[in-house]
Amino acid sequence: MWRIAAKSALVLALLSAVAPPLGKPIRPPSEHPSSALPRCAGDGEPGAIRFPRSPGGTPEVDAAWLAAHRCAVRVVDIREADEITGELGRIDVAAWVPLAGVEQAAESWDRDAPVVLVCRSGRRSERAADRLRSLGFHRVASLTGGMLAWGAASLPTTRAHVATPIASPAPTEAPAPSSSLAGLRATLTRPDALIWTRAATLLGANTVSCIDGREEAPVLGTPGGDAGELVLSLAALEQLLGRPLDPDWITAIFDRYVDAFGRFYLHTDRHAIERLADALRDDPRTAATAATWRGPEDIRAFVRSPPPAMEEALLEHLVAPENVGCGHIRLMITQPSRYGVREGLVSDVLRAAFHRGWRRPELLEYAILDGEHEERGVLEVQIEHAVHAHTLVPMVAPHVGTRELFVLHPQVTAFVRAENAWFLVEQLAPAEAARVDAAALRSRITALGARQLAATVASLAPHLPHYRLRISANGQTLEPISASAR
């Protein structure tokens, strides 16, 4: 939908995410001698390899499969320079092509040969695999859980030097941690920090991501991503209509929404998934199934494709605030009056999203983010022109090197909200559509959105510095924003 990790040719840095494995310690590379790798299976028989689609729509392989077949496929590590030499190490046979150079490097690859992409958590590699498939690569897959899953499986790694591929941007060292403008400027000039896409990609192929600083992919950020924007728009519509929207109507609207705009972004995090798993183990309706789970991949597979008889039980736990990993969405559930939303509206939208995602997995991007909140500031990204469908807009990575930021794109958000307003008005019965026009709804969405953003920033980033990144034909300027100017 408003998918802001674009599949435009200008941005290859698309990355969605499967979260890293839960609960298993990752041994340092020194504990993984290369001799421990199983003997390659299928050497010399790449033509026999086929990658089935995962429940999320993107072909994936797990760490055990890749360990056994690594010599029969092209393994490409798309992480950045500082990650390649970091504590997770890399797979011995993996070529290194940083994400921004994958498209160019792939021009010399056989489009019919099997390729497995690897990143830290599986999020970037999943999105990059989608991009390569759109370019005609028929057998490309992502390593589920990335190097975190590889390490959790106690598989060997190496830190041996790997040459920089010709197609990649020159490697840069991660900037030293700093809260200064100079440190932030250094972060934002990294080749993996910013890429461009057209706003029109949000009207079909792409999604709006959350402002969460743990996201490794370049994003166009708005609180709660697609889910936050839809809840906001429906809350504004309820205010103008003076009545609550029926849950069945919301479900029908959601189906038309994703049919019109494409995939829908909703994220959680590793901690919420762990709490969800505990709740499902304690629930008599799901305990027997939960007892068969051998690891985090089994839990995620259950959440993405539950048995029909267990859907309602799972939904009850998925919408419980303690099991919601997006801070903005969770705050709307627990503090509805502060956010100007009806109690129960967020749950109605989440239920509609999961119901749709279970029947058409390719339409729900349920991202699982890893790590702790370590954001050091709030970054507002502005360009010199108003945003229209043809406008090039800059995607910014919230998590680059050692720095995390909450990232906001107010102009892109305004574009998305205008489209949402038009869409919702067109779904109303004629009598109500005559009372609520798109301009009035857009105005209400804008006002309520400002209120919600202020509430979330006050809760999640109360003492963090705020910055504005202005991007124009003359370059970039970065400036602090005083509290009075926000």
Residues 264 and 393 in one domain: yes
Please answer whether residues 447 and 252 qualify as being in contact, where contact means their C-beta atoms are separated by less than 8 angstroms: no
C-alpha–C-alpha distance, residues 266 and 224, integer Å: 7
How far apart (Å, rounded) are the C-alpha atoms in residues 371 and 154? Answer: 20
Is the CB of residue 398 less than 8 Å from the CB of residue 215?
yes
The reply to whether 194 and 87 lie within a common domain is no
- Cα 356 to Cα 78, 344, 457: the distances in Å are 31, 18, 30
Q: Are residues 384 and 322 in the same domain?
A: yes
Same domain, 471 and 336: yes
Considering the domain architecture, whether residues 134 and 195 belong to the same structural domain is answered as no
Instruction: Write the pLDDT tens digit of every residue in 134-152.
Output: 888 989 999 998 998 898 8
* CA–CA separation, 173 and 168 (whole Å): 15
With a cut of 80, say whether residue 404 has pLDDT above it.
yes
The number of distinct structural domains making up the chain is 2
Residue 12 is predicted with a pLDDT of 33
Query: Is 169 part of a structural domain of the chain?
Result: no
pLDDT tens digit string along 56-85? 668 899 999 999 999 999 999 998 777 787
Residue 219 near residue 406, CB atoms below 8 Å: no
Q: What is the dihedral of CA 96, 98, 99, 101, to 10 degrees?
A: -100
Last residue of some domain: 97, 132, 152?
152
Q: Taking residues 276-286, what's their average pLDDT?
A: 95
Global pTM value? 0.68
Q: Is 427 inside a domain boundary? A: yes
Q: Which helix (H) or strand (E) holds 237?
A: helix 225-241
147 and 222, same domain (yes or no) = no
Pair (201, 148) in one structural domain: no
Q: Give the mean pLDDT of 18-39.
A: 40
Burial class (CB in 10 A: 0-12, 13-18, 19+), 102: buried
Residue 199 included in any domain: yes
Report the candidate in 156, 225, 213, 269 with the shortest Cα–Cα distance to residue 413: 225
Residue 9 placed within a domain: no
Is pLDDT at 7 greater than 50 in this prediction?
no
Q: Is the pLDDT of residue 169 over 70?
A: no
In a shared domain, residues 209 and 355:
yes
- Domain of residue 384: give its range: 181-485
Q: 472 lies in a domain? A: yes
Considering only 51-60, 299-308, 383-392, 436-445, which range has the smallest mean pLDDT? Answer: 51-60
Q: What is the pLDDT of residue 227?
A: 97
| Residues 284 and 401 occupy one common structural domain | yes
Please check whether residue 290 lies inside any domain of the structure.
yes
